[in-house]
């Protein structure tokens, strides 16, 4: 079934580019986008409306999907040119908010649900005589999300790294690195399960701690 909302493309560019509103399925593919992004692969699908700020620092891989009402922003705050990469096969839900001042990497085949927030930066808040909105944005830490990971609904990942084949539970706030093959959840997110390669299964960190307690 054709989806009229999908067919209407509304892109809002800031920075070097001005507002562009276009209609038509054809232009929805790389024919339009290729010129704006730093690099763009094949068969990606960016559903409109999509808000982009300085897309010339953004790389979109092959077969990437971003659902409606996303906001991708890069901002140069020092000599570093921001580098936001969404690698091949990544699929991101509605209402994503991804901001980058230095480096944000979303790995191959990452699956992200709706309302994710991913950022390598913070608003400065130190000066109590200046509104936070007027204080400089500052770098917090590089973000990377390892390949094949799954990011649940409403998750924030701020200035840290998530390993490969990880799961981040719904509503989590991740502020510290999460190792490969882990399930993490909560605020702040903590590892709740990890993959035991020798046993060939996921094990609860809680039960491991319990065992250690009994043995000790």
123 is catalytic: yes
Smallest distance, ligand COA to C-beta of residue 106, A? 15
Rounded Cα distance between 171 and 18, Å, is 34
Identify which range of 24-32, 64-72, 132-140, 168-176 contacts ligand COA by CB under 6 A: 168-176
Among 20, 132, 170, 203, binds ligand COA (CB under 6 A): 170
Rounded Cα distance between 156 and 142, Å, is 14
Q: Determine contact, residues 182/196, Cβ cutoff 8 Å.
A: no
Smallest distance, ligand COA to C-beta of residue 82, A? 27
**Per-residue DSSP letters for 95-123?**
T-EEEESSEEEE-TT-EE-SS-EEESEEE
Rounded Cα distance between 49 and 51, Å, is 7
Size of the site for ligand COA (CB under 6 A): 14
Smallest distance, ligand COA to C-beta of residue 88, A? 19
Among 186, 191, 195, 205, binds ligand COA (CB under 6 A): 186
Verify binding: residue 178, ligand COA, rule CB under 6 A: no
Verify binding: residue 171, ligand COA, rule CB under 6 A: yes
C-beta of 77 vs 203, nearer to ligand COA: 203
For the beta sheet containing 91-92, the strands, ordered from the edge strand earlier in sequence to the opposite edge, are 45-46, 65-66, 91-92, 111-112, 150-151, 167-168, 182-185, 190-196, 201-204
Structure tokens at 2: 């054709």
Catalytic residue among 14, 56, 97, 123: 123
Structure tokens at 144: 């990377």
Reference 60, options 47, 45, 48, 74; nearest CA is 45
Verify binding: residue 180, ligand COA, rule CB under 6 A: no
Q: Write each residue from 120 to 159 as x if it is in contact with ligand COA (CB under 6 A), else as -, in one continuous string.
A: --------------------------------xx------
Using CB atoms, what's the residue nearest to ligand COA? 169
Identify which range of 36-44, 115-123, 124-132, 182-190 contacts ligand COA by CB under 6 A: 182-190
Rounded Cα distance between 92 and 78, Å, is 29
Q: Determine contact, residues 99/75, Cβ cutoff 8 Å.
A: yes
Site residues, ligand COA (CB under 6 A): 113, 152-153, 167, 169-172, 183, 185-186, 192-193, 206
């Amino acid at each position: 079934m054709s989806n009229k909302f999908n067919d209407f493309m509304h892109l809002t560019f800031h920075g070097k580019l001005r507002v562009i509103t276009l209609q038509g399925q054809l232009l929805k593919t790389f024919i339009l986008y290729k010129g704006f992004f730093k690099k763009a692969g094949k068969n990606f699908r960016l559903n409109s409306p999509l808000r982009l700020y300085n897309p010339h620092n953004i790389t979109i891989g092959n077969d990437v999907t971003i659902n409606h009402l996303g906001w991708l922003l890069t901002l140069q705050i020092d000599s570093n040119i921001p580098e936001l990469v969404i690698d091949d096969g990544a699929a991101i839900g509605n209402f994503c908010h991804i901001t980058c001042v230095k480096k944000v990497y979303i790995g191959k085949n990452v699956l992200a649900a709706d309302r994710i927030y991913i950022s390598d930066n913070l608003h400065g808040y130190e000066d109590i005589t200046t509104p936070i909105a007027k204080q400089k944005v500052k770098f917090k830490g590089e973000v990377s999300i390892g390949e094949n990971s799954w990011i649940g609904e409403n998750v924030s990942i701020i200035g840290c790294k998530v390993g490969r084949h990880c799961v981040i539970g719904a509503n989590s706030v991740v502020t510290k690195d999460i190792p490969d093959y882990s399930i993490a959840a909560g605020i702040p997110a903590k590892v709740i399960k990890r993959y035991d390669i020798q046993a060939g299964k996921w094990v609860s960190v809680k039960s491991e701690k319990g065992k250690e307690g009994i043995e000790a």
